[in-house]
Amino acid sequence: MSEPKKVLFGFHAVTVRLKTAPDSIIEVLIDPSRRDARMRQFIARAKEAGVRLIEADALRIARLAGSHGHQGVAARVQALAPARGLDELLDALAEPPLLLVLDGVTDPHNLGACLRVADGAGAHAVIAPKDHAAGINATVAKVASGAAETVPYFMVTNLARTLGELKERGIWVLGTSDDAPQSLYQQELTGPTALVLGAEGPGMRQLTRKTCDALLHIPMQGAVESLNVSVASAVCLYEARRQRLLR
């Protein structure tokens, strides 16, 4: 049986694969009408990695990518082996876990942005329920700018049960809610932590909310009542990272 294949598009997503697993790249399509410095640098990197390059017009690349936002670059690649199990990942960590849990985030652009934030803040994994979440696709990979290749993303059958198992490991499960009495900035985040965020609007589901050890709110000073989930993820994860850097 042949190995499963997928498509990556956009400079960031394809460049990360060139860095991390060049042997998994079958071929890269590039638009020859784009001759700027960024494209020249990308081509040089691809040639250095020994990757097969194919010139193709923008329409052909768009058909492969399923999007016109490909920046003139798309790659056919072998799917990488799935991330090791969550338990194995947690057992191998040399520092207190920092996890991002997304409940009800179904928009691929939001998921991609959350993965990018998780990578930047040094989160060890992102967790989501199988039935109420977006999966990894080409759009997610493009928006994630390579983070879909570097951040383990676990889709679990029962989110409440998984949160319960995290709590049994001593991981503090902290949900975010606009009506929570305690501020994010009042909470110590240096220990084992899972930050739970729901989709903008409906927020976390009730069972997820009840499973959390505590609820926190992000202080809002202006007229806007809430933040996009990827922005809220950034605020929470970087506050946790800031506290850990000060230890």
Inter-residue contact 223 to 126 (CB < 8 Å): no
- pLDDT the model gives residue 99: 98
3-class DSSP assignment, residue 42: helix
DSSP at 6: E
Q: Is 227 annotated as a binding residue?
A: yes
**For 7-40, how does the pLDDT look when each residue is reduced to its tens digit (9 = 90+)?**
999 998 898 889 888 999 999 999 999 999 999 9
Helices first, then strands: H and E counts in the chain: 9, 11
Helical (H) or strand (E) element with 151: none
- Neighbouring C-beta atoms of residue 110, cutoff 10 Å: 21
Q: CATH class for domain 86-246?
A: alpha beta
Angstrom distance (rounded) from CA 37 to CA 194:
41
Angstrom distance (rounded) from CA 27 to CA 24:
9
At the topology level of CATH, where does 5-78 sit? Answer: 60s Ribosomal Protein L30; Chain: A; (3.30.1330)
**For 172-191, how does the pLDDT look when each residue is reduced to its tens digit (9 = 90+)?**
999 999 889 999 999 999 99
**For 20-29, how does the pLDDT look when each residue is reduced to its tens digit (9 = 90+)?**
889 999 999 9
Structure tokens that stand for 40 in this block:
């020249």
Checking if the pLDDT of 218 tops 90, the result is: yes
3-class DSSP assignment, residue 27: strand
Residue showing tokens 């768009």: 62
Structure tokens that stand for 236 in this block:
């929470």
Q: Is 26 annotated as a binding residue?
A: no
- pLDDT the model gives residue 16: 83
Angstrom distance (rounded) from CA 162 to CA 101:
10
Average pLDDT over residues 112-123: 95
Structure tokens that stand for 52 in this block:
């097969």
Distance separating the N- and C-terminal Cα atoms of the chain = 50
DSSP at 131: S
Q: Is 54 annotated as a binding residue?
A: no
Residue ranges per structural domain of the chain: 5-78, 86-246
What value does the CA radius of gyration of the chain take, rounded to a whole number of Å? 20
Please tell me which residue, 221 or 114, carries the higher pLDDT value.
Answer: 114
Helical (H) or strand (E) element with 220: none
Residue showing tokens 């589901």: 205
Q: In terms of C-beta density within 10 A (0-12 exposed, 13-18 middle, 19 or more buried), how is residue 51 classed?
A: buried
